[in-house]
Copies of this chain bind each other. A is one copy, B any other.
Amino acid sequence: MVDVTERVSEFVRASGIQKGLAVIYVPHTTAGITINENADPSVVHDILLTLNQLVPPDQPGYRHNEGNSDAHVKAGLIGCSVTVIIENGDLHLGNWQGIYFCEFDGPRNRKLWVRFSPDVLP
């Protein structure tokens, strides 16, 4: 899990958008994106520990022959996009929130796509 908050924030600031919504989208099927605690890295450890227990890399019955079935399942559980709020030209997150790209089958080169939609209230 890679903290991408600062990278996304830079992108938002560079866009000039003052207010609205941002969708941060992962165009991959063995990776995900999620929002969680940004302060104590042990939280990330505990999330990955639990995901690995719930979705073991080797499980009798897996049919996908690339050996990364667990990564696809984890991607499904975590999801491939988050929607966040933009205020005052930057990400508007909760105090303890950071945005994490979740690599479940790496290392690989990955991309994040970001799109903005306007806020309907002034």
* A interface residues with partner B (beta carbon < 8 Å): 15, 17, 20-21, 23, 25-29, 34-37, 40, 42-43, 45-47, 49-51, 53-55, 59, 61-66, 69, 72-73, 75-85, 92-97, 113, 115-121
Contacts and interface: CB of A to CB of B under 8 A. Distances in A.
Contact of A95 (B27, B42, B95): B27
A116 B85 CA distance: 10
Given A23-B83, A26-B94, A27-B97, 6 more contacts: A17-B120, A34-B79, A36-B75, A43-B69, A50-B69, A116-B120
Given A20-B120, A21-B115, A55-B50, A82 B81 contact: yes
Contacts of A92: 113
